[in-house]
């Protein structure tokens, strides 16, 4: 049955055919929505519990200037993060400019010349290639005499336990585990899987630091990687934990020693966590964290809707429509650049900010191929907001994420389908053939 919303979709450029198709896919997912609502309920209570335990008060929202000594709001927020992640300590700062910076900070502060960094889950996220020195870059770990090695996942996406065991050596100091698939078509790792991997690594070498790149994973499960043995979890506040409100920032949560190292690197030896004025960032950090479980759930709904819709149209999707979720990213493989471009342009047309602009592929710093990005966001570049990224290289997959509200995510996916139909990439009679 069609709801009364048909007309407003039509006013916003969605044909009746696309609307009906989208509604039919949406209606088939009611059971999944109930599970996601339960997940977000759990995580909402986890966040409120941590805020209450640490007596978050009105004074915590005020912020400091200058050196930022005795910043009650900053110190309390770091305790709240530590409690949510069940870690000894946390560093949550507007001075951490983005996720790459947070990860670089964790690595550069906890590795020393002569140490080796090891990734047991294959190539890390594109921007980390320059941090590590896989692609030559000024200031990379490699320039400081820190080596890097990796073992790829097996073709079926599982861990290469033998290879991992063989790769760990005397110099292995820190193991980096990326939870999310990033710009790759490999599976995202569940928290339980990360736990198994950490267990194996600690059996081979107990004193190695296990760090998880938690970007896009926060609040997609009831547990976080720090609940299964990770010594350090790291992420961006313009993704899940910022709830769409944080205008900047990154976080690290983990063992006190590793957080302390990071703090001395972020500010200065001798100063550490004691300085770093929060300026006016705290209200958005707190309120964003409060909203994060709910916002993440909305993004999950948008991703699952996209998976089911494009799967039925015959495009390879990772994860598929039925799989359990461990991050908010949805990959759809179009197999040619035109599909990637049309999809991203459709997402852009659904934006509340910059909905009138047309994205094109460009050579973004930090990436090794042109990338097209659909990002009409209130916070520039925020990918917890409805956004899509497509590197223009085989297999020509698009990575879709976010949506502060599920209604926006649903509209975005409808718009993308509309664009693919208008450009003739999906046949006009798609709806009669595929439902």
Ligand X SMILES: *Cc1c(COP(=O)(O)O)cnc(C)c1O
Q: How far apart are CA 112 and CA 116, in angstroms?
A: 9
Q: Is 184 in the site for ligand X (CB under 6 A)?
A: no
How many residues sit in the footprint of ligand X (CB under 6 A)? Answer: 13
Q: How far apart are CA 62 and CA 52, in angstroms?
A: 18
Secondary structure tally for the chain: helices H, strands E: 13, 12
Q: Is 100 in the site for ligand X (CB under 6 A)?
A: yes
E strands within 247-370? 250-254, 317-318, 330-333
Q: How far apart are CA 354 and CA 191, in angstroms?
A: 36
Of residues 127 and 298, the one with the C-beta less far from ligand X: 127
Q: How far apart are CA 23 and CA 27, in angstroms?
A: 6
Residue from 216, 334, 367, 430 touching ligand X (CB under 6 A): that is 216
Binding mask 53-92 for ligand X (x = CB under 6 A): ----------------------------------------
Residue nearest to ligand X (CB): 99
How many alpha carbons lie under 13 Å from residue 304 in its C-beta half-sphere? 25
Q: How far apart are CA 134 and CA 365, in angstroms?
A: 15
Residue from 95, 119, 178, 261 touching ligand X (CB under 6 A): that is 178
Residue from 95, 110, 180, 416 touching ligand X (CB under 6 A): that is 180
Pairing of strands 397-401, 330-333: antiparallel
Q: How far apart are CA 87 and CA 232, in angstroms?
A: 8
Q: Is 94 in the site for ligand X (CB under 6 A)?
A: no
Q: Please give the residues from 103 up to 142 whose contact with ligand X meets the rule CB under 6 A.
A: 103, 125, 127
**Nearest distance, CB of residue 213 and ligand X, angstroms:** 5
Q: Please give the residues from 231 up to 270 whose contact with ligand X meets the rule CB under 6 A.
A: 236
Of residues 22 and 242, the one with the C-beta less far from ligand X: 242
Q: What is the CA radius of gyration of the chain?
A: 22
Q: Is 159 in the site for ligand X (CB under 6 A)?
A: no
Residue from 63, 94, 120, 182 touching ligand X (CB under 6 A): that is 182
Interface residue list for ligand X (CB under 6 A): 98-100, 103, 125, 127, 178, 180, 182, 213, 215-216, 236
């Amino acid at each position: 049955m069609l709801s009364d919303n048909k007309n407003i979709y039509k006013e916003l450029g969605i044909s009746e055919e696309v609307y009906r198709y989208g509604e039919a896919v949406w209606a088939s997912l009611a059971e999944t929505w109930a599970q996601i609502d339960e997940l977000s309920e759990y995580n909402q209570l986890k966040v409120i519990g941590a805020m209450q335990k640490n007596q978050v008060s009105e004074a915590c929202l005020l912020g400091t200037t200058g050196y930022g000594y005795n910043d009650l709001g900053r110190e309390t927020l770091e305790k709240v993060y530590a409690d949510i992640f069940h870690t000894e300590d946390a560093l949550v700062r507007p001075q951490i400019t983005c996720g790459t910076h947070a990860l670089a900070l964790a690595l550069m502060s906890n590795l020393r010349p002569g140490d080796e960094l090891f990734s047991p889950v294959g190539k890390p996220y594109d921007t980390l290639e320059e941090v590590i020195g896989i692609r030559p870059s000024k200031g990379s770990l490699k320039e400081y005499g820190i080596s890097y090695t990796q073992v790829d996942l097996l073709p079926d996406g599982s861990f290469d336990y033998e290879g991992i065991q063989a790769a760990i050596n005397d110099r292995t100091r820190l193991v980096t585990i990326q939870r999310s698939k990033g710009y790759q078509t490999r599976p995202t790792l569940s928290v339980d899987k990360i736990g198994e991997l950490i267990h194996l690594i600690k059996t081979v070498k107990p004193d190695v630091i296990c760090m998880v790149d938690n970007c896009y994973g926060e609040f997609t499960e009831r547990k976080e990687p720090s609940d299964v043995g990770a010594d350090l979890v790291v992420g961006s506040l313009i993704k899940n934990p910022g709830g769409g409100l944080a205008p900047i920032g990154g976080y690290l949560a983990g063992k006190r020693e590793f957080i302390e190292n990071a703090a001395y690197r972020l500010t200065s030896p001798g100063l550490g966590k004691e300085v770093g004025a929060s300026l006016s960032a705290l209200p958005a950090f707190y309120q964003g964290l409060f909203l994060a479980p709910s916002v993440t759930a909305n993004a999950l709904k948008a991703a699952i809707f996209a998976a089911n819709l494009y799967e039925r149209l015959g495009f390879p999707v990772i994860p598929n429509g039925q799989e359990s979720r461990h991050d908010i990213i949805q990959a759809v493989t179009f197999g040619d650049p035109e599909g990637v471009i049309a999809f991203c342009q459709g997402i852009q047309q659904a934006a509340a900010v910059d909905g009138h602009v047309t994205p094109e592929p460009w050579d973004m710093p930090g990436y090794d191929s042109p990338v097209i990005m659909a990002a009409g966001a209130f916070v520039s570049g925020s990918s917890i907001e409805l956004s899509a990224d497509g590197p223009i290289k085989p297999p020509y997959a698009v990575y879709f994420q976010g949506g502060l509200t599920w209604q926006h995510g649903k509209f975005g996916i409808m718009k993308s389908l509309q664009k693919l139909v208008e450009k003739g990439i999906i046949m006009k009679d798609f709806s009669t053939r595929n439902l």
